[in-house]
Structures are given as C-alpha cells and as structure tokens.
Amino acid sequence: MNEHQSNAEQLILQAARKVFIEKGMEGARMQEIADEAGINKALLHYYFRSKDKLFQAVFLEAFQKFLPQIEMLINSELPFIQKLEIFINNYITIIIENPYIPGFILHELAQNPQRMAELMKNQVVVVPEFLAQLQQEIKNGVIKPFDPRQILINTLALCIFPFVARPIIQAVFFSDNSENYNVFLEQRKVAVYNFIRSAIFIEKP
Amino acid sequence: MNEHQSNAEQLILQAARKVFIEKGMEGARMQEIADEAGINKALLHYYFRSKDKLFQAVFLEAFQKFLPQIEMLINSELPFIQKLEIFINNYITIIIENPYIPGFILHELAQNPQRMAELMKNQVVVVPEFLAQLQQEIKNGVIKPFDPRQILINTLALCIFPFVARPIIQAVFFSDNSENYNVFLEQRKVAVYNFIRSAIFIEKP
DNA sequence: ATTTGATTTAACCAACTGGTCAAAAGTAAA
DNA sequence: TTTACTTTTGACCAGTTGGTTAAATCAAAT
C-alpha cells in the first residue's frame, strides 16, 4: 500500500472538487473525475456510492468554506465599520483563492433551490441580531437610514460579483493582459470597503 | 398550413428560450424543448441544425436584451447622476421581467469564455469615453475619486446580484413569503440608486 | 386530380452516461 | 504459505442523448 493508493479517497475528492466546481453537476462526468484522480471509474462508486453523493460532499465543503466569515460579519458584536473592514478583506481574499466557488454555488443553488435548501438548513446563520445591530447604529446616527437587508446584500454583491462575472469584465477592461485582473481584484479589497463606508457612514463634523 | 404549424420556428425558439435559460446548455434536453414546443424532436433539427445552433440563437437574443441600457449608461453624455438613475431603474425593471437571464449568461460565459467572446465580439461596447467622463466629473469635484472601473462594476453588481443569488437570499430573508421578495426587488430600484449616489457624489454645501 | 415543394413525423442509430459485478491484486495476520 | 480481508480493475449493462432518415402529410399551383 503506497501513499499514492492509500489516500485514494482524498485523490477522488480533490479531482471531484476540480471537475464539479469547473463544470457543475450537469457538466461533470464521472469518467473525467476518475481520469483526473488517476484511478478507475468503478473506484469512485466504491468510495462514494453515486455521482450525487460525491457532488454533495464537494458542494457542502465548498459552501462551508465561505460560511465562517459571513458568520463573523453577522454575529460579532464589533461596531459595524470594523466588522465590515475585516469581513471584506478576508472574504475577497478567500474568493481570490477559490475564484470559481461562488459561481458554482450560485448555479447549483439556482438549479435546485429546494434540495440545496435542505443541504444547507443545518448551516443556517441567524440574521435578526445583525439587522437589529444595524438598526441601532442607524438610530445612534452612525449609519445612514438604509434598509439593513439591502446593506448586507450590497456588501455580498460587491465582494462576489467580480468573480462571477470575471470573463466579461476581463474582456472589457483587461483583454490585453489578464494578469491585471488580479491586481484589480486586490485593489477591490480597499475599494469596496471605501465605497460602502462612503455610502452608509455619516461623517462626524 | 394553420397558424400553429406555420410559426413552428417561433414555437421552437420560445420553448428553447425557456428550457435553455432555466437549465443551461448542459442541462437542457432537445426532447424537453420539443415537448415544450408541442412538436416532434426531429423538427428542431429541421429548423435549427443542431443543439448548438439553437443555443446560439437563444444566447445572443438574451444577451442583446440587456445591451441597450448598458450602452445608454456608457455612451450617453448626460451627467452621470442622471444617467445612473435612469439606468438603474430601467435595468432592474428589465431583469425583474427576465430574472433568470443574468444567471444564464454568466454561467455560460464561465463555461466557455473564449467561445462566448467570439459570439459577443460584434456586440462590444466602447468604454474609454465613459471612463473619461467619470474622470472629468471627479476632476470637477462632482464625484469622489473612485476608480471609474470600480464604479461601473459596482453598479452592475448591485443591480444583477440579487437575481443571481435569489434562492439563498430568499431562504434567509423571505422564507415565509416569497412574494415579499418581489417587493424587495422593487424597492431596490431606488435603494441601489441612493446607495451609489451616497457613495460617490460629493454633497455641495 | 396531379404535381411539386415544403413541413412533420415515427422509427432508428451510434455514442455516451452513471452504475454494477465478478475477478484480480494487494495487505497483513496466523 | 495460507487465510481473510480490503482495495482496484476491466468488462459489461441499461438508459439516455443528440442527431439522421425515409416516409408520410400538407399546401398551393398546374
């Protein structure tokens, strides 16, 4: 039993991760995953019973990778300005490291909302306290009176969208040199923070 | 030749639109499109030679539906505040009427960037003037000194994201009553405008 | 009514898909 | 070495897929 074979399960997961996230559930082929892992196709079914089970494992793992930061943004009791800066920095950093996961999750979610809802119902984050905190800071005159739900969604939108729309943005702005896009994304960590801060925070005289 | 048969091509396109936009190129089945159109599967190949050709027709049509408003935002010479308000209103209105098209386009774009780039290269919008206009307004002290590219992407992100991420947002905020989501989206027309305006425009004393 | 051309269909096909299974190969203890 | 067990494989299967084809139906002109 050499190292290569012994961790076949890890090899499979790694290959499945790549293929599923790149091609999606419908586009992925079991044979391609097997090839990518350098093993026989039957071995996939030996470790994971079906394509669906393997997909579940990949999806949940991908989903959970993005949860902790969101939980921090929602559940921490720091002032919102501080939470926001930390969140945007960490979140964009994570997405840069896993640029295809957001598109993957959103697409599978759209394909089968009710099933994905079941997969995620143990993962739920509680938002009411978050909304209450924002409402409080609005009452305190720290934040302009925007709907807290809109603020949360805007924050996520600004972080996630450039990755979901990467091909078209790159074609428009960086068609000559795609490496510049990474620079652009790096700049976004501070740009997005400044943008939201400028939008919602009331400047004290 | 009754009306039902004579416009078979239109029936097919309508069915293809529905199935492709809902399931994507990979997920769509020619049989399902034929059933949806109420015709024989072979007739699909009679009017459109292949699944690919049919997909192309649907994709281009969908893509073009969103282009005019973006062109207006980019090419009109109105002051940016005015353009922005008109754009956001019209754009979100169009997406509400075609809520699944953004996800469809972004997904297919991500699946095959180079091919989609070819499909779109006749549709290109010219941005340099747009960037120059924003730069000028920054110089004039109308707009805060944000990177014009970031402003454009932020605007699109805030308009599009709630539709791409609809299932998860709905699960978190509107699990009890999904109709409320439409209300929320309607409110976004003004909310997004106020958000961006508050972020980038300099209040004159 | 017959001819001519376009439209529509049922039956079919080769390629591919996820999945199965019995046998082989490997592993470690007795 | 034999035994008992797990891991890995090649061959195979039934169902599905996009696509084809020859024949049938239809519509209009002669």
Q: How far apart are CA A112 and CA A106, in angstroms?
A: 10
- Quick one: average pLDDT of B181-199? 97
CA–centroid distance for B164 within its chain: 10
* pLDDT, position A124: 66
Report pLDDT digits (tens) over A62-86. Answer: 999 999 999 999 999 999 999 999 9
Domains of chain A: 1-49 (1.10.10.60), 62-200 (1.10.357.10)
Q: How far apart are CA A39 and CA A12, in angstroms?
A: 8
- Tokens read off for A43: 């071995």
The continuous run of DSSP H or E covering B11 comes out as helix B8-27
Nucleotide with the nearest C1' to A12 CA: D8
Report pLDDT digits (tens) over B115-164. Answer: 887 877 777 677 899 999 999 999 999 999 999 999 999 999 999 999 99
In this model, does residue B109 exceed pLDDT 70?
yes
The whole-chain average pLDDT of chain B stands at 93
pLDDT band at residue A19 using 50, 70 and 90 as cut-offs? very high
In this model, does residue A188 exceed pLDDT 60?
yes
- Overall residue count recorded for chain B in this entry: 205
Report pLDDT digits (tens) over B31-52. Answer: 999 999 999 999 999 999 999 9
Min distance A157 CA to chain B CA atoms (Å)? 6
In this model, does residue B101 exceed pLDDT 80?
yes
Answer for the pair B117, A167: CB distance below 8 angstroms, yes or no.
yes
- B7: number of Cβ within 10 Å: 12
In this model, does residue A106 exceed pLDDT 60?
yes
Is residue B139 classed exposed, middle or buried when 0-12, 13-18 and 19+ CB atoms within 10 A define those classes? exposed
One-character DSSP codes across A40-60 = -HHHHHHHSSSHHHHHHHHHH
Answer for the pair B156, B95: CB distance below 8 angstroms, yes or no.
no
**Closest residue of A to B149, CA-based?**
A173
- Overall residue count recorded for chain A in this entry: 205
In this model, does residue A126 exceed pLDDT 90?
no
User: Which positions 39-58 on chain A have a beta carbon less than 7 angstroms from any atom of strand C?
Assistant: 41-42, 45, 49-52
Suggest the residue from B127, B164, B170 to mutate for an interface test with chain A (most A CBs closer than 10 A). Answer: B164
- Quick one: average pLDDT of A17-35? 98
In this model, does residue B204 exceed pLDDT 80?
no
Report pLDDT digits (tens) over A157-168. Answer: 999 999 999 999
Q: Residue B136: how many CA atoms within 13 Å on its side-chain side?
A: 10
Answer for the pair A186, A163: CB distance below 8 angstroms, yes or no.
no
Q: Closest Cα partner for A99 from A12, A167, A194, A193? A: A167
Q: How far apart are CA A155 and CA A89, in angstroms?
A: 12
How many Å from the CA of B1 to C1' of C2?
20
How many Å from the CA of A111 to C1' of C17?
20
Residues of A in contact with B171 (CB under 8 A): 113, 117, 120
* pLDDT, position A125: 74
Q: What is the DSSP letter of A144?
A: -
Q: How far apart are CA B196 and CA B201, in angstroms?
A: 8
- Tokens read off for A86: 């930390």
Chains A & B: contacts with CB separation below 8 Å: 139
Is residue A92 classed exposed, middle or buried when 0-12, 13-18 and 19+ CB atoms within 10 A define those classes? buried
Q: Closest Cα partner for A106 from B170, B124, B142? A: B170
Residues of A in contact with B168 (CB under 8 A): 106, 109, 120
**Closest residue of B to A106, CA-based?**
B165
- A147: number of Cβ within 10 Å: 18
Classify each residue of A25-47 as buried b or exposed e, where b means 16 or more C-beta atoms within 10 Å of its C-beta: bebbebebbbebbebeeebbeeb
pLDDT band at residue A120 using 50, 70 and 90 as cut-offs? confident
* pLDDT, position B203: 80
Q: How far apart are CA A91 and CA A75, in angstroms?
A: 15
* CB proximity B41–strand C (7 Å threshold): yes
How many Å from the CA of B49 to C1' of C6?
17
In this model, does residue A1 exceed pLDDT 60?
no
Answer for the pair B145, A190: CB distance below 8 angstroms, yes or no.
no
Closest residue to C16 (CA, C1′): A29
Q: What is the DSSP letter of B121?
A: G
